[in-house]
Amino acid sequence: MKINNVNLEAVAVEPVGFPEKMLPEVAFVGRSNVGKSSLINALMGRKSLARVSGSPGKTRTINFYNIEELLYFVDLPGYGYAKAPKTEIKKWGIMIEGYLQKREQLKSIILLLDIRHPPSALDLQMYEWLAYYQFKIILVLTKMDKIKRSQVPKHVKIIRESLNLGSDSLLLPFSSETKQGRDELLSVIEDLIK
């Protein structure tokens, strides 16, 4: 898939703000700071259309990027940002769950995990929740540039085991810095929306 035309088409905090066009959607889910917005930029070939930050809690709305009038990439706020005020955490939870549960055109979820660490309790909870609701889940392991190439298989194995994944589930190591994994993920997404 070649991506030339992208457009941040909607920024929403509730369903009334979601796009009305019936394009398939792929949503990016993961803890705060794991690299969702960076991944979306890397896929779109844009440096900073999606806002990125070194400190967690950057994305606070649901952002719909129209990709070539073919589909939307949906950037969500992250979970697990413990320093946010409790009322905000609750609000984001309701917003994310509302979107994930009610959106007809949501085709699949890209769940991001940091390749350096075993999944957290919240990651496991999110994975189980998504699996329970029978979402198609693609696991992307971010920040692979931060570990040695030779260590990648070991980290992949640890994550695979903690999620109890069969050998057929896809785990894609990725780096927004080096763009490793980008083409593979784009072709997976292309297959998903066929």
* 37 sits near ligand GTP (criterion: CB under 6 A): yes
Helix (H) or strand (E) holding 8: strand 6-12
Q: Which of residues 9-38 bind Mg ion (CB under 5 A)?
A: 36-37
* Nearer to Mg ion among residue 36 and residue 143 (C-beta): 36
DSSP output for 72-97: EEEE-PPB--TTS-HHHHHHHHHHHH
* 63 sits near ligand GTP (criterion: CB under 6 A): no
Burial of 102 per CB tally in 10 Å (0-12, 13-18, 19+): exposed
Contact 76, 99 (CB under 8 A): yes
Residue 105: HSE in the Cβ half-sphere, 13 Å Cα cutoff: 15
Q: Tokens for 7? A: 């457009």
Taking CB under 6 A as the criterion, the residue among 18, 26, 59, 137 binding ligand GTP is: 59
Binding-residue total with ligand GTP (CB under 6 A): 24
* 52 sits near ligand GTP (criterion: CB under 6 A): yes
Amino acid identity for residue 112 in this structure: L
Residue 108 binding target from ligand GTP, Mg ion, none, CB below 5 to 8 Å by type: none
Binding site for ligand GTP (CB under 6 A): 30, 32-38, 52-54, 56-59, 77-78, 142-143, 145-146, 175-177
Binding site for Mg ion (CB under 5 A): 36-37, 58-59
